[in-house]
Each structure stands twice: as structure tokens, then as C-alpha cells.
Chains A and B, each alone.
Chain A
């Protein structure tokens, strides 16, 4: 098991893109179920290190830990993401309800969202994930790896849950929230 865990870590280290469980299984010659167990073990092992596992659907990759962001940012000279209030609202609708269409966002925010959707697309915080199965087949948007990265989340399950005085009732108001993560 330790051997498999180490092999998976090594593959994730050299991988240029997120790696699916299937690809990890093929590379290591292990069964997908064992790969998943090993990934869980690796996740635990990495929790106290400078690296973390990040997951979207069944694809995984190694990223730096949010705790070390300051040092990495200083080293890379990276800029902090600047994002307008309007764009952030649009992003939050898409992030929490994904997949969502422009119309979904507009009906919730009550304003035209073309501009903000374009901005988010250009910054690769969101992307097209599919087409909705309804008239006009509108584009469905979901969040990207860049989104997880920018907000230091290991998966969309980690989105901050907002507790307002109306907490529970709010969740009733948006039953589609926390739907199945997109593959």
C-alpha cells in the first residue's frame, strides 16, 4: 500500500495535467479501488506538508498548500487576483450551483451578466462544461482548476458554507445547491 501511495505521488508530481483515477490505475498497474484508497492515504499524509491533493471529479493533482501561499507568491512574484464585486457574485452563483447557465445567474442577480461571465471565462475561473437539455441548448458553466487554486480549495465540496441567521432556510431556498460535482 505504501508503495502504491508513493508511486501515485510520483506520477502526480511529474504530471502536466490533473490525472484521473483510471490513468493512475493504468500507470501503477493497480486496481482503481486501491488507487482511491491510496489517494485517501496520500491526502492524509500530505495534510501537514507544503503540498496538497486537489480533486475535480475523479481527476487529481498536486498543488501547494494554502498555508504556504505567501512564500510561493513571494517567490513567483505572482499577483493577487483582483475581481469585482459583480464578477464575484456571478462566480458564487456558478460555483455553488454548478453547472449553471447565464440565465440562471441573471434570474438570481436580476441584472445582465454577459460582461461578468466573459470576464470570468477570460480569467479561466469558469468554463463551459456542457449544454443544457432545454430549448436553445444554453451553455452550462462550471468552475475550473484555476478557481480551486485561486481560492485554495481542494475540491468544490470545500466551498465555504455560509451561515446566516436564516441559514437553514436559505438552503431550502436553493435546493440545487451542493448537487453532484461535475465530472
Chain B
């Protein structure tokens, strides 16, 4: 209820035709269950006139409800109304009343949810899930040592290259072309072969990027039997399901 007391001066304040009608009823301290809806037709129309700034489509929604109210009112005051007409007017009013009640309930509930939200009594779940990072399956300490060895070698050779050779200029495109040409001759080649004996860091990176690029272009397929295994680069279209 407090929700509806908030100032509603702007047209944006009204959520829709039903909201506006409910506002009128509450302002006049009437009961949705007993108010003669037809009596509200004039007041409603006055309000709708103030909604000129709304897009035509939305104003139309308000007008539909306004015309219903006018119809209800007209039927109730016409002396020559037949029983049938009175009945249909009654049914129409009852249906509208029902919708108002329903909408009123929704507004109350929205207010109750808002109150809960404002209390800030929310719950949190644990973000990210599993706290324990499980090691990859199938890894053993020997493989770890070997991998570490490779890293050390790579680092050493990178240092040597830095000291001895000038920085080579090798583009990803060039390397990709080389690999493609190689794959014309052979169907498959392993990544370690592509890296050659003692690759510089730059050469390794360029080769890796070239492979990613070829894969993206659909020129090659990539296979890896197990985690940390050597990657096999296969020419696209070659069937190697035998594994």
C-alpha cells in the first residue's frame, strides 16, 4: 500500500491502464469490490487526457479501458436497457473487477518482494564451486619432471639465442605456409618435430600460433592422445581414426 502512496506525477508513473484505474480507486478511498466502475469513467478520461506525451500505442491501451468504463456507465444509466443488456453490462463490470483484483494482488506482491529486497536479506552461494583443484588424471611425477626439464631447456636456449643470435624475423603466415607445404608431403607431423631440435622461444610461439591459425582455417586437424602428450598435426581430410 505504501508503494502506491509514492508521488505519481509523471505519466511514466503509471504502469498501465489497470494501474491508473486502481490509483483512482485508492485515491478516492473506494473498495475495488464494491465501487461502481462506471462512475469512474469521467475521472479516468480526465487522467487519460493528461497522458498525451505517451506513444500512441500506449495511449490506445488506456483508451480501450476508458471506452469500457464509458460503456459500463452508459448501460447502467440507460432507462430503456433490456434485461439482456443489463446482464451483459453486469458481466462486463464483473470481469473488469476481477482483473483489477488480480492486478491489485500483483501490486501487493511486488511491494512485498520489494520490501524483502530492500531489507537486503539475500543469500549467497559459493562462487566457483569445487574448492579443491584436482590434478589432471593420468599424470605422474616422471612426466612432471620431464616437462620441467623441457621448460628449463627452452629457457636456456632462449637465453643463449638472446645472447648469440640476432632476433629472427619469422611471421606466423610464413610458418603456416611452411607447415602446409610440409603436410603436402606428409599426412601428419608432430608438434615436437615442427619445433625442431632447440627452438627459440619466439620460434616455438610462432609455430604454435601458425598451427592454431591453420586449425581455425580448417586446413588441419589436431590430435592429442592424452593430457601433456605431443600434439599431432594432421592434414584435413586424412582419416586417422585408427589412433
Residues of A within 8 A of B (CB): 13-17, 52, 54, 61-67, 69-70, 72-73, 76, 78, 80-81, 83, 85-86, 88-89, 91-93, 95-96, 107-111, 145, 148-153, 159-160, 162, 164-166, 169-170, 173-174
Contact = CB atoms under 8 A, between A and B. Distances in A.
B98 A173 contact: yes
Contacts of B128: 16
B150 interface: no
A1 B59 CA distance: 63
6 contacts: A70-B120, A81-B122, A89-B110, A95-B109, A148-B123, A160-B115
Most buried by A among B33, B98, B114, B125: B125
A115 to B, nearest CB: 12
B136 interface: no
Contacts, number: 139
Interface string B107-140: 1111111111101111111101111100000000
B162 interface: no
Q: Is the interface of B mostly helix, strand, loop or mixed?
A: helix
Interface of B: 3, 15-19, 31-33, 58, 61, 65, 98-99, 101-117, 119-126, 128-132
B110 A91 contact: yes
Most buried by A among B3, B18, B101: B101
A110 B103 contact: yes
B116 A85 contact: no
A70 B123 CA distance: 10
Contact of B123 (A86, A152, A164): A152
B110 A88 contact: yes
B101 A173 contact: yes
B103 A108 contact: yes
Most buried by B among A52, A66, A148: A66
A81 B120 CA distance: 9
B5 to A, nearest CB: 13
A177 to B, nearest CB: 8
Most buried by B among A65, A69, A72: A69
A164 B99 contact: no
Contacts of A164: 104-105, 108
A109 B15 contact: yes
A148 B113 CA distance: 11
A65 to B, nearest CB: 7
Question: 7 nearest interchain CB pairs?
Answer: A16-B129, A66-B121, A111-B16, A63-B123, A92-B109, A110-B18, A160-B112
Nearest to B97: A173
Contact of B105 (A145, A152, A162): A162
B124 A149 contact: yes
Contact of A63 (B106, B108, B116, B125): B125
Contact of A64 (B18, B105, B123): B123
B30 to A, nearest CB: 12
Nearest to A160: B112
A148 B16 CA distance: 28
Contacts of B106: 89, 92-93, 96, 108-109
A118 to B, nearest CB: 17
Nearest to A64: B124
Contact of B108 (A69, A111, A152, A162): A162
Contact of B33 (A86, A108, A169): A169
Given A14-B132, A16-B130, A166-B33, A88 B113 contact: yes
Given A89-B106, A108-B102, A164-B105, A69 B32 contact: no
